[in-house]
A and B are shown apart, each in its own frame.
Chain A
Amino acid sequence: KAGVTQTPRYLIKTRGQQVTLSCSPISGHRSVSWYQQTPGQGLQFLFEYFSETQRNKGNFPGRFSGRQFSNSRSEMNVSTLELGDSALYLCASSFEKPQHGAFFGQGTRLTVV
Chain B
Amino acid sequence: AQSVTQLGSHVSVSEGALVLLRCNYSSSVPPYLFWYVQYPNQGLQLLLKYTSAATLVKGINGFEAEFKKSETSFHLTKPSAHMSDAAEYFCAVTLNDYKLSFGAGTTVTVRA
Contact = CB atoms under 8 A, between A and B. Distances in A.
A and B associate in one complex: yes
A90 interface: yes
Nearest to A91: B43
A interface bracket (residues with beta carbon within 8 Å of B): 20 to 34
Chain A residues touching B, majority SS = strand
Interface stretch (B14-22, B65-73, B78-86, B94-102): B94-102
Given A42-B105, A99-B32, A104 B96 contact: no
B105 A33 contact: no
A78 interface: no
B105 to A, nearest CB: 7
Interface string B88-112: 0010001111111111110000000
A7 B100 CA distance: 22
B interface bracket (residues with beta carbon within 8 Å of A): 20 to 34
Given A97-B96, A99-B32, A45 B45 contact: no
B42 A33 contact: no
A4 B104 CA distance: 23
Contacts of A92: 44, 100
Contacts of B104: 42
Given A43-B90, A99-B51, A31 B98 contact: yes
A106 B97 CA distance: 24
Which of B96, B97, B103, B104: most chain A CB closer than 10 A? B97
A101 B98 contact: no
Interface of A: 4, 6, 31, 33, 35, 42-43, 45, 48, 50, 55-56, 58, 90, 92, 97-99, 101-107, 109
22 contacts: A4-B43, A31-B98, A42-B105, A43-B102, A45-B99, A45-B101, A50-B98, A56-B98, A56-B99, A58-B99, A90-B44, A92-B44, A92-B100, A98-B98, A99-B32, A99-B51, A99-B95, A101-B49, A104-B45, A106-B42, A106-B43, A107-B43
